[in-house]
Amino acid sequence: MKKNTAAITGVQGYVPDYILTNQELETMVDTNDEWITSRTGIKERRILKAEGKATSDMAAEAVRGLLEKTNTNADEIDLIICATSTPDMMVASTACIVGDKVGAKNAFGYDLMAACSGFLYALSTGSKFIETGTYKKIIIIGVDMMSSIIDYTDRSTCIIFGDGAGAVMLEPDTEGYGVQDAILKSDGSGREYLHIKAGGSLSPSTHKTVDAREHYVFQDGQPVFKAAVKNMADVSAEIMERNCLTSDDVSWLVPHQANKRIINATAKRMGLGEERVMLNIQKYGNTTAGTIPLCLWDYENQLNKGDNIILAAFGGGFTWGSIYLKWAYNSKK
């Protein structure tokens, strides 16, 4: 019997309609379009403004589109893994809520929190259930509603983040397409530089924590930037070396969209020109777990069966990693 690999057989994204431009940010904090563009590459980001809507609503939109596109009934889904740092609520998990919203009544689901590396961790975890033959249809979601945890008076963070969701279908393949290798890492000492202070068991929510604005993302940008440049480039080079891939063999780099300068450094290290690097940071900003599936969605029409693709991310935790996959289908162009 041929060995199963875990192949992505469809991808779909969702971003909310509201566009928060650099120009609008100029009216909110002391910043300017030139600074934001040159330091990050971001021009605009999407914000979920609809009353009563949350992370699960963006994810459910992406999953509904994915089911339609892949001709899948919701009750065929075995498992939903939702990578997010902005769950709808502390309990229940967003994966369960999404399953309910899309009618995936035979699926179980759980959330996975690894900040910006969440999609890679979830994809790697899901692929093991496929490779072992345990499940046949798994949906991996990367989604974040960063606007719910961003302080729009803090210019060092509010210019970076946006809201969005991406989802992929993972199925067994017997021809060798799909996930080939993964290198996943973490270093908890990095939490000092990127965290949300309150709202967890260490510092539960109180009037004091709210007044001190401790429920928002804190980021000390420079150390995070340095660690991101080094680790994302290192891990991407490592996965190429481990799989005997030269830069000519790599069709696409799909980098986490945190900062265009970090993306450029990673591509340079891998020997890739910008024509082989997926980029949508200019229009969505950093959607945390959403960036990689949103890139795959945006570039799906340019992907061909057999393309060697390297996914790479770095984020809070610290967490980082790289996945090598062989694209499994030709899109209807």
Instruction: Select the residue interacting with ligand UT7 from 21, 31, 203, 243 (CB under 6 A).
Output: 31
Interaction pattern, residues 280-319, with ligand UT7; x per rule: CB under 6 A: ------x----------------------------xx---
Q: Select 15 or 97, whichever has its Cβ closest to ligand UT7.
A: 15
Name the packing angle between helices 221-242 and 260-270 (round to 10°).
30
Q: Does 40 bind ligand UT7 (CB under 6 A)?
A: yes
CA atoms in the 13 A half-sphere facing the CB of 253 = 35
Q: Does 116 bind ligand UT7 (CB under 6 A)?
A: yes
User: Can you tell me the distance from the alpha carbon of 132 to that of 123, in angstroms, rounded to the nearest whole number?
Assistant: 14
Burial class (CB in 10 A: 0-12, 13-18, 19+), 24: exposed
- Cβ pair 255, 274 in contact under 8 A: no
Interaction pattern, residues 249-268, with ligand UT7; x per rule: CB under 6 A: ---------xx--x------
Q: Report, in angstroms and rounded to the nearest whole number, the Rg of the chain calculated over CA atoms.
A: 19
Instruction: Select the residue interacting with ligand UT7 from 18, 35, 108, 329 (CB under 6 A).
Output: 35
> Restricting to residues 161-220, which ones interact with ligand UT7 according to CB under 6 A?
none
Q: Select 87 or 316, whichever has its Cβ closest to ligand UT7.
A: 316
| Residue pointed to by tokens 């709808």 | 88
Closest by Cα among 268, 228, 233 to 247: 268
Provide the binding-site residues for ligand UT7, judged by CB under 6 A.
Answer: 31, 35, 39-40, 116, 155-156, 159, 221-222, 224-225, 228, 258-259, 262, 286, 315-316
Q: Which residues are catalytic?
A: 116, 256, 286
